[in-house]
A and B are shown apart, each in its own frame.
Chain A
Amino acid sequence: MTPATDATAQAEGSFSGGFSWAMARDLRLAWRHPDEAVLTVAFFALVASLFPLGIGAEPQLLARIGPGVIWVGALLAAFLALPGLFAADYADGSLEQMTLSPHPALGWAAGKIAAHWIVSGLPLTLLSPLIGLQYGLAPDTLLVQALSLAIGTPVLSLLGGACAALALGARGGGMLLALLALPLFVPVLIFGAGAAEAQATGLSAAPHLSLLGAALIAALVGLPMAVGTAVRIAVD
């Protein structure tokens, strides 16, 4: 009995096969062209700088608005990174190729989003304590802020990814994507910023973080399939 060849194994396709393939591919592409990741983080830092400049840099005020502003900045940066998730692959036909692969859509869709989060949401999360220091937030608030972003940004990537896939090739471009994605982002923002604010005012952040966690689990369970379906709808 000859061992199964690579071709046979690949012809079957699997969730993990598709996932790891897509994630590795997108990470490799991002490594070669880091502009997107750098721009996302730079945008976050810039937006966070605008508020003290616009509202006034009084320490108490900044500490009060810090958690919310940081979350909004991260959310906007994550939003702006969304078109890059599918646009290039859609334009050159790779996306269509992916839908034809033996791997289930669930797998490679989840893989692309995971890579996207690593390149957008994760850097934002890691940078947030620095921005938080600019706002004079206490260490425990910084930690909760980072934690809320760590849990929340994947949800944003999943929700945003679904919207980006749905809006592929649509008229209206970025504005349409904003109309679709931002309302869905609202609950995540409320709980995410709420967690950091709760910690800052001495209350427990646990309820907010738990709800965020529940949202993440629900998103992980339901949205990759939605993204795969949305891509199918886009390329069919």
Chain B
Amino acid sequence: MNWFYFSSPSTFYGLAGRLAPWFFILAAVLAAFGLYLGLGVAPTDAQQGAVYRVIFIHVPTAWMSMFLYFIMACYCGLTLVFNTRLSAMMARAIAPTGALFTFVALWTGAFWGRPTWGTYWVWDARLTSELVLLFLYFGYMALANAFEDPRRGDRAAALLALIGVVNLPIIYFSVQWWNTLHQGSSVSFKGTSMHVTMLTGMLVMSFAAWMYAIGATLMRVRSVILERERRAQWARNVEAA
């Protein structure tokens, strides 16, 4: 199979359109099940009370905020190395979704923190570096759109994203490196101390977030492709569905 068939914006446009609905459906189903487990079935935490249930949004969105930046950075790497248009378009398509997840992670963290830590915000390592991540997303989007020539924006923002990647290990390892208020990780490859329904709910919601992110990115990249290729013949024939 010619893997490069879909590396052209015109062909990927159609593929993305066919795939996106499936990812949204999958996300909805997983979220329904995850919320059922998390909000309905899982027992209340003995120490924190019911507010711990924010974990079913907070952790998935936080994980996705980092993961999406990483994927965006990979596409940026491809853009710089191979100078492909579609990889730059994918990076641009991911950024807003990544920024939104980061914001929700920060917001839900604040509302979880208020009753448990007594405050909406602290300037500890993890929260600060997650906030920095939000600014990195904004910076990427601002730089990409700051030029008349979109290709220049693609490449400049790509390099910026790669420089910013160093923030990801800082976020991830911050709770190990510093004595922070934010709790350390309860989930690792070696096992977890969480109750099984809580863990399952969290993992299912993480998957739901991932599927949603893919769906949203595919939908957005279709618009990006149309914007960039609007003078191309194939784009003229696109029907406004």
Contact = CB atoms under 8 A, between A and B. Distances in A.
Contacts of A217: none
A234 interface: yes
B200 to A, nearest CB: 35
B143 A167 contact: yes
Interface in A211-236: 218, 223, 226, 229-230, 233-234, 236
Interface string A32-46: 000000000000000
A163 B146 contact: no
Contacts of A184: 136, 163-164
Contact of A166 (B128, B159, B166, B170): B159
A55 interface: no
Interface in B149-187: 152, 155-157, 159-160, 162-164, 166-167, 170
B146 A176 contact: yes
B147 A171 contact: yes
Contact of A163 (B128, B155, B160): B160
B146 A171 contact: yes
B135 interface: yes
Interface in B70-90: 80
B146 to A, nearest CB: 4
B128 A190 contact: yes
Contacts of A187: 129, 132, 167, 170
A183 B147 contact: no
A180 B143 contact: yes
B85 to A, nearest CB: 15
Contacts of A167: 143, 146, 156
A234 B142 CA distance: 16
A119 interface: no
B139 interface: yes
How many B residues touch the partner, as a band? 20 to 34
B138 interface: yes
A170 B143 contact: yes
A186 B146 contact: no
Contact of A179 (B125, B139, B155): B139
Contacts of B160: 163, 166, 180
Interface in A133-188: 159, 162-163, 166-167, 169-172, 176, 179-180, 182-184, 186-187
B187 to A, nearest CB: 26
A233 B83 CA distance: 12
A166 B143 contact: yes
A163 B139 CA distance: 10
Nearest to A230: B159
Given A180-B139, A186-B132, A190-B128, A226 B146 contact: no
18 contacts: A170-B143, A170-B147, A171-B147, A176-B143, A179-B139, A180-B143, A180-B160, A183-B136, A183-B139, A183-B164, A184-B136, A186-B128, A187-B129, A226-B159, A229-B80, A233-B155, A234-B152, A236-B152
Interface of B: 80, 125, 128-129, 132, 135-136, 138-139, 142-143, 146-147, 152, 155-157, 159-160, 162-164, 166-167, 170
Interface of A: 159, 162-163, 166-167, 169-172, 176, 179-180, 182-184, 186-187, 190, 218, 223, 226, 229-230, 233-234, 236
Given A162-B159, A179-B139, A230-B159, 14 more contacts: A166-B157, A166-B159, A170-B147, A180-B142, A180-B143, A182-B135, A184-B136, A190-B125, A190-B128, A226-B162, A226-B163, A229-B159, A230-B156, A233-B152
